[in-house]
Amino acid sequence: MAALFALQETPGNPRSQEKKGRGSVNINMEYYRVFYQVGKLGSITAAAETLCISQPAVSQAIKQMEKALNSRLFIRTQKGVRLTAEGELLFPYVERGIENLLDGERMLRRLVDLDMGEVRIGASDMTLQFYLLPYLERFHGQYPNIKVTVSNAPTPETIESLYEGKIDFGVVSTPFDARPEVEALEVRKIRNTFVAGNKYWKLKGKRMEYEELKELPCIFLEKNTSTRRFMDQFLEKRGILLEPEFELATSDMIVQFAIRNMGIGCVMAEFAREKIEAGELFELAFREMMPEREICIVTDRKNSVSPSGEKFLRVLQKGHSSGGEIL
């Protein structure tokens, strides 16, 4: 909780002028903050830790407040403290006042964040390179003062970061498992492809069965990636279990291994397009096409998105509604 005001630990604080009796009472606003935390937490120690002040300072503030109001507000118990009847009467009014102040502070920060905030995004190499990058360029041009942090990780790790509130949203690829509170917006179709170098030229143009891959060295991504999971699920449904010769962390490395004739690589087609057009690789053809999958933007309803993150999401959603064009 952001500190709207700092408690002075000097008992003789001149701002704290109390008046006894039934008339109006001028109590240091900081004392109400202490009262709120002690009442909320039921502990002087916990309140001191939350407010980042000493326990004696908390006790002194409560004592001064009780003196000013001519009322006992707390009773000590074995577990800490609890509100008296007078304290329970006062607490909801103080609670509303403190929460209103904090709401005002949050609203002010929302306005400031539009120019000076931060966007935290989770994305894999693939979704970053072949979807997110042009939007990052556009957003930075429009809002140069907003900091953009991209956490580069496979889809399962990105989903976990979303749960933990470490990112505003993720850009992931299917398939993935997610809790019901996660909302996914499909923004682009993608497909996997098997590629090979010149050593396997005899396979070019041949209509293959996936079973034949068992007799060939294969190069796949690690199992904690959506690309590998999609391929494994597709093949397992057809009774095919492949053990690759190489498991690599990035699709770019699979392309390089395939160019060097170290085996048959499986990557998202965009990663291999340039090398296929240059004649360094070719796509294997199969009697049954592997279906397309999707790139998705994911958010978590249980975790709020920063104002800057919401602004970036609107840019992405606008691009999606225009057919993927960067407007």
Give the model confidence (pLDDT) of 49-69 as tens digits.
999 999 999 999 999 999 999
pLDDT band at 29 (very low <50, low <70, confident <90, very high): confident
C-alpha to C-alpha distances, 2 to 33, 52, 307, nearest whole angstrom:
12, 11, 17
The residue among 319 and 78 whose pLDDT is bigger is 78
Instruction: With CA atoms as reference, report the closest residue to 83 among 46, 48, 47, 39.
Output: 39
CATH ID of 192-291, from 3.90.1010.10, 3.40.50.10490, 3.30.590.10, 3.40.190.10: 3.40.190.10
Give the model confidence (pLDDT) of 248-277 as tens digits.
999 999 999 999 999 999 999 999 999 999
Residue 149 has pLDDT above 90, yes or no: yes
What pLDDT score was predicted for residue 51? Answer: 93
Give the model confidence (pLDDT) of 275-318 as tens digits.
999 999 999 999 999 999 999 999 999 998 988 899 899 999 88
Provide the 8-state DSSP code for 85. Answer: H
What pLDDT score was predicted for residue 137? Answer: 94
CATH ID of 117-188+297-321, from 1.10.150.530, 3.40.50.1980, 3.40.190.10, 2.60.40.10: 3.40.190.10
Q: Is CATH 1.10.357.10 the classification given to domain 29-109? A: no
Instruction: With CA atoms as reference, report the closest residue to 218 among 190, 194, 192, 193.
Output: 194
User: Mean pLDDT over residues 73-78, rounded?
Assistant: 93
